[in-house]
Amino acid sequence: MEIIPMLLKEMDAEAVTTRKMLSIVPTDKFDWKPHPKSMSIRELAGHIAELPGWVTMALTTNGLDFAANPYQLPEVHNTEDILAEFEKSFASGRAHLEKATEADLLPDWTLRNGDTIYDVSSKAEVIRTAFCQMVHHRAQLGVFLRLLNIPIPGSYGPSADEMHLYDFESAFSQ
């Protein structure tokens, strides 16, 4: 079984849910955070938007050294900027993955900060981690939005805000 078609299918599916979530981020709440140690909504949504670009980074580099390349969030000023950043990073990541070969997924990729190594994984594992990070941070964003009383869309089924749209009793009684 080939890995790239499975990764592309997962990437496409997660993009649908991510677009729904990012599209409801309110610009007037960009600087809000639920706790002093939390990212702001702007930072969190910006990070989610850039994560598909980690597929490109995994396939075109041998690693990331924060000491040589300090992390910078994408600059976003409104919801449209977030969506544009997501579409840009998604298109890049997907295009690089489509062009990749199975052999391109095998080499190691290293995440470090100077001499401190955080992780060494195959490029395939780094791609899967990027997808997991997108889901993880998207869930965080869902909590942030819920705390602001903003109805959230479902990810893998209806959210609590959408339950009234479905008749589960009749669906399971047949």
Only one residue has tokens 């677009």, namely 19
pLDDT digits (tens, 9 = 90+) for 53-88: 999 999 999 999 999 998 888 999 999 999 999 999
Q: How many CB atoms lie within 10 A of CB 23?
A: 13
Only one residue has tokens 């041998």, namely 62
Q: Strands across the sheet with 63-65, in order? A: 63-65, 108-113, 116-122
Q: Which domains does the chain have, with CATH numbers?
A: 3-172 (1.20.120.450)
Evaluate whether 145 touches 23 at the Cβ level (below 8 Å): no
pLDDT digits (tens, 9 = 90+) for 122-145: 999 999 999 999 999 999 999 999
In this prediction, what percent of the chain has a pLDDT beyond 70?
95
In the annotated binding site for a divalent metal cation, the residues are 47, 137
Only one residue has tokens 């309110």, namely 26
Q: How confident is the model at residue 174 (pLDDT cuts 50, 70, 90)?
A: low
Q: How confident is the model at residue 167 (pLDDT cuts 50, 70, 90)?
A: low
In the annotated binding site, the residues are 47, 137
